[in-house]
Structure 1
Amino acid sequence: MAVKINLFERVDSGKGLFAVETISLIYNALTTILILILYPRMDHPGMMLLERAGIVVLTFVLIFLYQAVPCRLTAFIRMLVQMSLLAYWYPDTFEFNRLFPNLDYLFAHAEQFLFGCQPAVEFSKHLPSIWFSEPFNMGYFFYYPMMFIVVVYYFLKRFEWFEKICFVLVTSFFIYYLIYILLPVAGPQFYFPAIGMDKVNACIFPPIGDYFNLNDYLIPGPGFDHGFFFNLVEASQEVGERPTAAFPSSHVGISTIVMIMSWRVNRKLTYLLTPFYLLLCGATVYIQAHYLIDAIVGFISAFFVYHLATLMYKRWFISPVFKLMG
């Protein structure tokens, strides 16, 4: 018999911040300091500072809302807003790493040395039909729905762990984002059109300095261009993609962490998500968003990032945030 969930069931976490809000404010503060250091060189630092102030205000407005109505629903809203803000923090990494010399040429050289080719080019070239293009693009598009499904499952079925997994997930993103700020790698879909496919085919990968500081042309993805999921991915990339965040692949890293979370709570859910996960991992290279080494390191790093974020939660937040009140 199904258990009914009362979204307005009262919960009590005290008067302070949730763990996920704490880590978000820490990341906000760290990047604010970086803006102040790089202020003269940045494109629109004043606006970035205002946006950060707005995020702080929004965070505390939601705290006041929760204090007025402390229940599962308002707790979920607070968590969901912080996770939704990741859509802001991701392109924000580009505003920092665009100032530094691009490193794609090193990764393209490494790819050529390790595999004797550019897998991001060869993969789609040998599997161009709709029967491969659509499944891979579907997997890539399923990145955020996969996260949402697992987070909602914890909210509905394992509420006592909900705060923890939200913290681990958001913290994992921030760990990857800090790497992206310091390691400017754009990926094949940006680097290859910047140097020209004639050079790629000739295995010539020149450094391009701060080229992406003024240029952000994104090559259309390979595959069947009339496909439904192909066009969904293209539309989403046109809106939110930037020449940043290629190494390691957070798509592979975060989706692996999501799979770990699902495995720990429900094996059937894991089996359901596995085909989408495998297609997503393959799609990162198929659509040329990443080099193959990005995907490999993304997978390996996921286990370290997951354990680091979990350790941070245990050290910083000893007792559970949520205590159900009868």
Structure 2
Amino acid sequence: METNRELTQVIRFRPVEWALLIYLVATGLLNIFYFKTLGATWLHLGARVTIFSGLMLLIILQVRFNNRFIDFLRSFYPLATLGYLYGETDFYNNIWHNYLDTWFEKTDFLIFGFQPSIKFSEVFHWTWFQELMSLSYMSYFLMIFGVLWAIYRYNREYFNRSIFIVLQSFFFYYLIFIVIPVQGPQFWFPAPLNGLPEGGAFQKLLRFIQSVGERPTGAFPSSHVGISVILCYLSYHYARPLFRWMLGILVLLSCSAVYLKAHYFIDIVGGLLTAPLMILLTTSLLSLFSERSREWIRTLRPAGIVLFARRNRNR
């Protein structure tokens, strides 16, 4: 007697993928509801289709071949979208009101009696100090990948948890940037107040990076500071040897954000205060996604290849 049993593999979205998909849908709805105000909505909707297609391709490949490298790429893929999605906040951040820099500029002046983002670079104008500040600011990107890579290598069971906390925190910050549009001193102050004395190689490299990826958005709260605090939290729990280094970089990065006129002083305070809230919210959401993660069961045949269904015969 022969019985046929269909074994079907399961597509299970990871929490980090749910975070990406929900953010794409939420901001995509802004495109639809405010298409007359925004314009160029088809470009951004098309970007969402492209990002989703890339995600599904990696999921299909990982399920099909169960390869560790593809699995690693799948985990990191949502992080690779952050640069584009950050730039998009400049597209959305004037839907409801114009830039609010006037209030932040006045708050800094009320606290200090001067503009710290201007005075800082005027007093500490030495080339070596400019280089230190530029290097500290750029180290932010290395912090993200360095901490996550260390967790992947030495504490892998917490890797996906850590990526979710970082990614979802970014998305929360991006939503704040859309609702509270603040450019920052480098865009708000007129020349030459928004400039810096001529520096060295690191400053030139930073200027190049900013010319490619920086936009008049995202000043408050400082996600640089907020995410750095979160990385310190993750390194303390899951990559302890890096923790002291992360604390030192956090201090230098906080100073450099004001020195380089990327942020007002109050932005730094905002980053420090919101980071614990981000940790609380993201860890709560992680539990929710882990418990209620939906499963897609499909028999897919792209390019004529049966990916998920196979037949098992028991005699």
* TM-score normalised per structure 2: 0.86
Query: Is residue 20–residue 166 contact of structure 1 (8 Å, CA) maintained in 2?
Result: yes
Residue aligning to 1:236: 209
Largest Rg, 1 or 2: 2
Question: 1:149 corresponds to which residue?
Answer: 146
Corresponding position of 2:42: 46
Q: Which runs of 4+ in 1 moved over 4 A?
A: none
Aligned counterpart in structure 1 of residue 258 of structure 2, from 285, 289, 298: 285
Distance in 2 separating the partners of 1:123 and 1:226? 15
Q: Distance in 2 between matches of 1:318 and 1:131?
A: 51
Displacement after TM superposition at 1:14 (Å): 5.0
**Residue 137, structure 1, aligned to residue 137, structure 2:** no
Q: After the TM superposition, which residues 66-81 of structure 1 pair with which residues of structure 2 at under 5 Å, given as runs?
A: 66-81=62-77
Q: Aligned partners of 2:258, 2:78: CA distance in 1, in Å?
A: 29
In structure 2, give the amino acid aligned to 1:287. Answer: L
Counterparts of 2:140 and 2:108, CA distance in 1: 25
After superposition, the C-alpha distances for 1:180-225 in whole angstroms (9 at most, x for unaligned) are: 01111000111102xx66xx8xxxxxxxxxxxxxxxxxx54x24x3
Q: Indicate the structure whose relative CO is greater, using CA pairs within 8 Å and at least 6 residues apart.
A: 2
Q: Which runs of 5+ in 2 are unaligned?
A: 1-8, 294-315
Shift of 1:101: 1.1
Partner of 1:269: 242
- State whether residues 98 and 184 of structure 1, in contact with CA within 8 Å, keep that contact through their aligned partners in structure 2: yes
| Structure 2 residue matching 1:184: 3-state secondary structure | coil
Q: Does 1:17 align with 2:4?
A: no
Please list, as runs of the form range in 1=range in 2, the aligned pairs for 1:1-326 lying within 5 A after superposition.
14-99=10-95, 100-193=97-190, 219-220=194-195, 222-223=196-197, 225-318=198-291
Distance 2:67 2:144 in 1: 23
Say whether the 8 Å CA contact 1:43–1:95 is kept in structure 2: no
In structure 2, distance between residues paired with 1:129 and 1:43:
45
Tell me by how many angstroms 1:275 deviates: 2.6
Pairwise CA distance, 1:43:
3.6
1:317 alignment partner, SS class: helix
Structure 1 residue 269: deviation in Å? 1.0
Q: Is the 8 A contact 2:62 2:71 kept in 1?
A: yes
TM-score (norm 1): 0.83
Q: For 1:142, give the aligned amino acid.
A: S
2:169–2:279: 8 Å Cα contact kept in structure 1?
yes
Equivalent residues of 2:155, 2:239 under 8 A apart: no
Which amino acid is the alignment partner of residue 170 of structure 1? L
Residue 17 of structure 1: how far off its partner (Å): 1.0
User: Does the CA-based 8 Å contact 2:183-2:216 persist in structure 1?
Assistant: yes
SS of equivalent to 2:189: helix
Following superposition, the deviation at residue 319 of structure 1 comes to: 9.4
Is this contact kept in 1: 2:154–2:239, CA < 8 A?
Answer: no
